[in-house]
Amino acid sequence: MKFKLLSLSLILSGCTSQLQVNTIHNSDLDVAYINDDKSTGTFRNFDPGEKAYPVTCQENCYPEHADLVCDSINQQCHYQGVQPKPKLNTKFKVKWLGHASFELTTPDKQIWLIDPVFGQFDWPVDWAFNLTGGFFRHTVSVNDQNLIRAKSVDAVFYSHIHYDHFNKADIKKLGTSPQYFTPLKFSEHFPNGSYTVSEMTWFSKTKLGETTIHFVPANHFSSRIWVPFIYSDWGKTLWGGWLFEHQGKKVFFAGDTGYSAHFKEIFKRYGEIDVCLMPIASYYHPENGQWYRYVHTTPEDALVASQELGCKVMVPWGYGNKSWQMGDISSHSALKRLLHMHKELNTDVSLYILNEGESVRF
């Protein structure tokens, strides 16, 4: 396999301080492959085009489950099932902070955050939503937010630029001491300050402490700014997932993604994965359901993907009491459907359900 090695360091001047950007591209996949249109610099998916979904829940997709206790129908729930923890000995500790946010403690005791968004959206989206009565979340409590920020965070990882995954206000609060890892073309979206940002291309890798970091594809899209007829940044930043590897043990965060051939490609390149953090919500929309599923896995898509990835255990996310419930129909319907389809599919992938704020060492 031929590797192209390219590492660029450049300094972008901010108003008051300097952003340090390092571009990591040591993959056999040419950047041009994912550059859909060089003149506009937009990216495309690894496996674009129509999809055949192996399984679709057809009826009775949201049955009651004895281990899921809710205040009202599918809303404000707590999972209380007794779960045997698979013996994986990865030495990674996983804490779910709500929606797509995770805190990962690495085997060498580093604290890493994935897609940390603790409040609402960045301005002006929060402001526009306030005016129009759009969707809001129950935010992570101020105490918990302060506890997370008080820890010495070593690294922060972003999967893509959407407002519920990348929040400038939280970056400012996390400060300049963590190292930031992002998909390509993110640095211009950082606030002013002396942040250290490593932008990565798909299938590139780097190392932090004892853990190897791989950036991998997801089937999604990017957009952050849209002014009708004037400006759109659709596809101008890359998107993806993260695979963390320590002494052959692997933890995978899929990012926002629909079901596509990229999962089989990840398995082909890296082999079986110990722990898979998989999105299961945001697949539903009354008019645009097809598009929503194209970019967000249903619970059964996530199960099929986990099987293709060789995941030993799958931890679901994207739903929850502290989530935005975007494209979903309630806080916990997606988890109900997952529990139902897990039984239906009789898969050998184990599930491990976390309530928001809970953690587990695998």
For residue 110 the two structure tokens come to 């580093």
Residue 326 contacts residue 282 (beta carbons within 8 Å): yes
Q: How far is the CB of 255 from Zn ion (least distance, A)?
A: 8
Q: How far is the CB of 220 from Zn ion (least distance, A)?
A: 6
Closer CB to Zn ion, 156 or 339, in the complex: 156
Residue 169 contacts residue 176 (beta carbons within 8 Å): no
Closer CB to Zn ion, 199 or 256, in the complex: 256
| 205-244 footprint of Zn ion as x/- string (CB under 5 A) | ----------------------------------------
Sign of CA dihedral 152, 214, 252, 259: positive
- Cα 337–338–340 angle (5° rounding)? 65
Closer CB to Zn ion, 256 or 301, in the complex: 256
Closer CB to Zn ion, 77 or 171, in the complex: 171
Q: How far is the CB of 96 from Zn ion (least distance, A)?
A: 18
Closer CB to Zn ion, 235 or 245, in the complex: 235
Closer CB to Zn ion, 168 or 361, in the complex: 168
Count of CB atoms situated within 10 Å of the CB of 193: 15
> Does residue 256 bind Zn ion (CB under 5 A)?
yes
Measured between alpha carbons, how far is 243 from 92 in angstroms, rounded to an integer?
12
Q: How far is the CB of 282 from Zn ion (least distance, A)?
A: 8
Measured between alpha carbons, how far is 74 from 80 in angstroms, rounded to an integer?
15
Unique residue bearing structure tokens 């993110």: 186
Q: How far is the CB of 349 from Zn ion (least distance, A)?
A: 24
> Does residue 293 bind Zn ion (CB under 5 A)?
no
Binders of Zn ion among 153-172, rule CB under 5 A?
162
Among the residue ranges 170-178, 186-194, 248-256, 323-331, the one whose residues contact Zn ion (CB under 5 A): 248-256
- Cis amide linkage into residue 316, ω under 30° from 0: no
Sign of CA dihedral 164, 255, 145, 175: negative
How many residues of this chain bind Zn ion (CB under 5 A)? 2
Measured between alpha carbons, how far is 35 from 238 in angstroms, rounded to an integer?
9
Binding site for Zn ion (CB under 5 A): 162, 256
